[in-house]
Chain A
Amino acid sequence: MDYMLSDDLKAIRDICGEIAEKHIRPVRAALDEENRFPREIMDILARSDLFSIYIPEAYGGTGMGSLALCVATEELSRACGGVAVSYAANALGAMPILLFGSEDQKSKYLPPLAAGEKLCAFALTEPEAGSDAAGIKTRAVRDGDHYILNGTKQWITNGGEAQIYTVIAMSDPTRGARGASAFIVEEGTPGFSYGKKEDKMGIRASATRELVFEDCRVPAENLIAREGMGFMVAMKTLDNSRPGVAAQAVGIAQGALDEALAYASQRRQFGQRIDSFQGVQFMLADMATSIEAARALTYAVARMMDAGSPRFEKESAMAKVFASDVAMQVTTDAVQILGGYGYMKEYPVEKMMRDAKITQIYEGTNQIQRLVIAAALIRETAAGMR
């Protein structure tokens, strides 16, 4: 389908495609096998200005917006979901600063992110607080011109690799969800260290790590927005970043379809190419159709955001749910089309199937997304908007 992308967006797609071809496909199996963070690829993405696209020109970026980020993430994911999330998680990490940061915070932290000199991460989840984010236990206590942070964040993408972290902590536990605050914590801040590195099922090129705060002194000027705004910051951040997960899912699914099509045209059984069997053809047709639907929804939501729509939490959740379910289905079908070979590590589709799974889980599980969608529907109905 022709989405009539602008020349800039086509340029982004072409650059990502070239990087994927030359620098990601040749190493993706090794990165997966060795659980290795793709530092060199991040440098290549940086040199091609890809970290600039979600940051406004005023802060050293190219200000290309959400659709640009989706296009880039999709194209990278087509080659490797792990590399792609390592890239996209920067936008997630930077989002609190982009949306709520002060002028000083923006001019201090955004330019090195735009240049790709520094990486970024977003830290909300804790061992006992996943879907129920209000259950976080990390504490932030004001002490003069500092806040003292104590607690542990879990499963933080880019943990240990990023230099800048946006962290949600409880500044006033008595106020529940209204008692959280968001902070910028730099690597090297006394009392801030890294804990356990995870050994994951998929997206194994990405770093997923624990962040440990032990009497970590964060300057008060690193508070994002105001005290008590932490959840607001976190929820808006996720609303803005979810189309990125959708794009990741679309990319992974597309990569799997590419492999399935190529294989089906080569593999012969019963004296003919397997893509001549209607049973296989129907699967390929369904895969392609659902990918296109997922992409169309994702791009539509991203365009809506770029056009300045004030509210898109429902749409952004819809894109994430739909695209990630498509990715899981399509990658599973791709393995099926490759048969036994699909189950083997010699072919990339089993990795794609493992990589696809995470898109249904992180940045809010698909169950939670459905709750968000339903809540919005009910609210809209009650308000007479439907």
Chain B
Amino acid sequence: MKFVVAVKQVPDTAEVRIDHEKGTLIRDGVPSILNPFDTYALEEALRWRDSLGGTVTVITMGPPQAEAVLTEAISMGADEGILLTDRAFAGSDTRATSQAIAEAVRKVGAVDVVFCGKQAIDGDTAQTGPGVAASLDWPQVTFVGRVREMTEEHVICERYVENGVQVLDTRLPAVLTILKDANTPRVPSLRGKMKARTFKPVLWSAADLGLSPEETGLSGSPTRVVTTATPEARHGGEIHRGTPEELAVIMADLLLGKEARS
């Protein structure tokens, strides 16, 4: 079977610091990493390839240096990598991003399943997967906590929702977005790392995907970010110090309020 995994290069938000005055990111020394959620998508694809046979192709849209996340995916065992890179893609929102990825999936051809991460840790929208599915007019299963079963025709997924688990039987081809509950991503293998060292991605531009300038980047993006700020500061109140017993009395006063004080 033919599997595609959409992966994104993101700044490691755990390392991001912010300039509170200006409401912007301090990027100094923050490493770029493979979106952590995408490692679960990749692992899921690799597992199904290992058990059903076939290939795993990773696709990313980003600047030339996004090649690094494809290389990492190759070292984990992906077969091929495609980098969608073009000035024209700059400024893409999820609509434009989904469209580009969907066109790439069409160009790859005969794909059975597209795996996406649950969300990217920078944009945090979780919108790209459903957008890709809509562009391809394929069914989608989001928030997949476990893929139970797969054949050439269909897939049975557990979709984790707020109050339980939906078990869905879905016809292929389809787009799945994978939660971290689904698996434990493998560590790269030595042979994978050796292969990754000489890996060169396939490069596709907007024109290669048959996308017109109006459909891509800023012009193909209905949303745009107008301002950024840091989360509203909530001011700290009084800070109490003292023995545990003293603190307990103050806390009990505040917590119990009207309740009798003895």
Contact = CB atoms under 8 A, between A and B. Distances in A.
Q: Do A and B come from one complex?
A: yes
A48 B190 CA distance: 6
Contact of B191 (A14, A44, A62): A62
A15 interface: yes
A47 interface: yes
Given A48-B187, A52-B190, A53-B190, 13 more contacts: A7-B197, A8-B190, A8-B194, A11-B188, A11-B193, A12-B190, A15-B188, A15-B190, A19-B187, A44-B187, A47-B186, A48-B188, A49-B189
A18 B188 contact: yes
A22 interface: yes
A10 to B, nearest CB: 9
A50 interface: yes
| A12, A23, A49, A50: residue with the most chain B Cβ atoms closer than 10 Å | A49
Nearest to A18: B187
Residues of A contacting B: mostly: helix
Contacts of B186: 44, 47-48
Contacts of B187: 15, 18-19, 22-23, 44, 47-48
A133 B135 CA distance: 72
22 contacts: A7-B197, A8-B190, A8-B194, A11-B188, A11-B194, A14-B188, A15-B187, A15-B188, A15-B189, A15-B190, A18-B187, A18-B188, A23-B187, A44-B186, A44-B187, A47-B187, A48-B187, A48-B189, A49-B192, A53-B190, A62-B191, A62-B194
Interface string A1-29: 00000011001101100110011000000
A62 B192 CA distance: 12
Interface in B161-198: 186-194, 197
B191 A15 contact: no
Contacts of B197: 7
Interface of B: 186-194, 197
A62 B194 CA distance: 10
Nearest to A19: B187
A11 to B, nearest CB: 4
Contacts of B192: 49
Contacts of A14: 188, 193
Interface hub of B186, B190, B191 (most chain A Cβ within 10 A):
B190
A7 B198 CA distance: 12
Contacts of A22: 187
Contacts of A49: 189-192
B96 to A, nearest CB: 35
**8 nearest A-B pairs in the assembled complex, by CB-CB distance:** A49-B190, A11-B193, A48-B189, A49-B189, A18-B187, A19-B187, A49-B191, A48-B187
A12 B194 CA distance: 10
Interface in A39-56: 44, 47-50, 52-53
A62 B189 contact: no
B213 to A, nearest CB: 41
Contacts of A18: 187-188
Contacts of B191: 49, 52, 62
B230 to A, nearest CB: 30
A62 B188 contact: no
Contacts of A44: 186-187
